[in-house]
Structure 1
């Protein structure tokens, strides 16, 4: 069942303890603990509510999940790329570094696909 996105108009979007801030904070906590799956879920909620920094963090976490899960890497990389590219602050140095990392991940995934497609012999 899809997660109902948080609406910034309904809960606010500032440092006042809103649900969006809570979702972002939970994403940070899970990321620090190394639970990238949970971090992605919480960052996604905050990003869907237009929290720009959450979109960048989500893109980064999804990229790292793609590194860990080669069979799902194409889907994860595609989603990561959409979030990073659509982030309001996609021109900051941090965002540009994430975009560069994402391009490198795409290249590694393409190389893996190329190696898998070659017949053994």
Structure 2
């Protein structure tokens, strides 16, 4: 039995060695290990090179990161995730629709948290 039986290729097919595919594979690996900061970094690289599916994975990972962080950083992450999810994706695919719905829910939760925070004193 190998020490690391899970490989990025097992989650999305074999890798041919292009930079975008390698970046996507690294993103999958880090996401599997729950290192979402590194996963986002590598998915962002793949998405910038228009690798299929990278923008969706990036949006999902950024949304999960936003759930883990406070209001200020979460809002920036949600805004970036929304941009990636809305740019050039097939919004008729069930996976895309689900991610967009999750993102809208996250935006609503962030807005509710802002409404519950005490007003700052001047």
TM range (shorter): 0.7 to 0.9
Give the TM-score taking structure 1 as reference length: 0.82
What runs of 5+ residues in structure 2 fail to find an aligned partner?
1-13
8 Å contact kept, 1:55–1:87: no
- Aligned pairs for 1:68-107 within 5 A: 68-70=68-70, 71-107=72-108
Matches of 2:65 and 2:103 in 1, distance apart?
A: 12
Name the SS of the counterpart of 2:89 in structure 1: coil
Mean Cα deviation higher: 52-61 or 35-44: 52-61
Match of 2:45 in 1: 45
Q: How does 1:59-70 map to 2 (within 5 A)?
A: 59-70=59-70
Aligned residues between the structures? 106
Q: TM-score, normalised by structure 2?
A: 0.81
Tell me which protein shows more helix as a share of its residues: 1
Q: Is residue 15–residue 22 contact of structure 2 (8 Å, CA) maintained in 1?
A: no
Question: Partners of 1:27 and 1:15 in 2: how far apart?
Answer: 13
CA RMSD across the alignment = 1.7
Residue segments in structure 1 that go unaligned for 5+ positions in a row: 1-13
Counterpart for residue 110 of structure 1: 111
Show the counterpart of 1:58.
58
